[in-house]
Structure 1
Amino acid sequence: MKWENSFLASVPGLSQWLPATAVVAVLVFMLREFLEWRRRRAADARKLRAIQKVLARECELNHWRIDQLLKALTDMREVGVQEDATRVSFIESASGGFVVTITSRDGRSSRGGMLLRIQKDVLSKHLVEIAALSEKLSPLCESALDALAEAEHVFNSLVYGPDAHFPSTRENYFDGLIDYGIEELNESALAVKRLYFSCTGHELIRGRLR
């Protein structure tokens, strides 16, 4: 074995204090460890790519949900829900989520849509794995998870409205929620887009319903 002879020649006197069989055993061990390291590295790379695909889909789902929340809050501001809370209603759907209906100021027309819950479970599930696999992706995942928690808070605050002990009117409640919600949701959307770009290399333009 030429590589073995070259190694022995590069370490003068090695054969004098180590038997040849021991030297071979050490070299075989080193080779085995190198191959195992390369195998693990390839496996980790495949696992990271798979997780990135899952996260990208999660970003697309949440992008659509955040966009619908933003649209609902913007519509509520336009029709003056903060002046008359009866112009907005939420009905929980049997299939999940809430149907929102927003009535115009003159009461002659209405607009609405479906609001679905923010999804964080997949991101939370893979957070530890991502921290071990990618130093670059890990902080983006943490930021996205925090942002989605804020978006979830806006969702819950909107569809469930003020509790029975809210100290003022529903109009005041929605007045504060609209400004707060739009600001928080825009930040949430940016965090989701940053994570998506890191996972795919592409800009997140359109979300997905399911």
Structure 2
Amino acid sequence: MLDVFKKKSEKKRKIFAYKSLLAEELELNLWAKKRLLSIVTTIEEQEAEHPNAKYKLIKKEAGQEYIHGYDAGNLIESCPIPIVHDKYYEKLISSIAELDANLFHLAQNSYEEVRNMAHVRLGLIKGLCAEENDEPFPHDIRKSGFLDWAKDELNEAYTAMNSLYKECKGKELTEHRLR
């Protein structure tokens, strides 16, 4: 009888710990989602005022990547491109599958969308380097169809992330974490 109680308590502690770690990572990814969406929206909004703007990828200290926008040689945009996180998911998913089928299902769905968000990030980087890399698609990221696609993908990512966060924390995913 004591063994059953110990195992049940251990399972609860593990699930609580997994939910806490996933929630933390989701808060980091909410920041990434917000920043990526802001970058995409800003590029879109700047087209009216800066129709000839050029956007480039700049690598800075410690490998951090930045977007820089220039119009007639003047800097009109500069911000870091956020990193998308999935280390806890990768480490915990098999253990979660053993302990909680519902949490496993929500984590799988959420992190599929997180991977799509990472794909948006890579698409942004590739689009910023299109001219430099002589890519076959439009060298102006605003004319490639990327911006509308990215907004849709980022909104879908939030929906799935929010579902998992609600399971982990019992509330909506509204507060982000920077680190």
TM-score, normalised to structure 2, is 0.86
1:119-157, Cα deviation, whole Å (9 max, x unpaired): 112112111111111122111100111101111111011
TM-score for the superposition, normalised by structure 1: 0.74
Q: Which has the larger radius of gyration?
A: 1
Pairing of 1:47-196 with structure 2 (within 5 A) = 47-80=14-47, 84=52, 86=54, 88-103=55-70, 110-161=76-127, 162=130, 164=133, 166-171=135-140, 175-196=144-165
CA deviations on 1:1-45 (whole Å, 9 max, x unpaired) are xxxxxxxxxxxxxxxxxxxxxxxxxxxxxxxxx321221111010
Q: How many residues align?
A: 175
Aligned equivalent of 1:204: 173
CA contact (8 A) 1:64 1:207 kept: yes
Hey, what's the Cα distance between the residues in 2 that align with 1:170 and 1:56? Answer: 38
Structure 1: distance between partners of 2:136 and 2:56: 21
Match of 2:123, as an amino acid?
S
Verify the 8 A CA contact 1:147 1:191 in the aligned structure 2: yes
Preserved CA contact (<8 Å) 1:60 1:206: yes
Answer whether contact 2:68 2:75 (CA < 8 A) is retained.
no
Cα distance in structure 2, aligned partners of 1:111 and 1:173? 14
The answer for unaligned runs of 5 or more in structure 2 is: none
Cα RMSD, aligned residues only: 2.4
Report the Cα distance in structure 2 between the residues aligned to 1:194 and 1:102, rounded to whole angstroms.
35
Percent identical: 26
Q: Which has the higher contact order (CA 8 A, sep 6+)?
A: 2
Cα shift at 1:174: 5.1
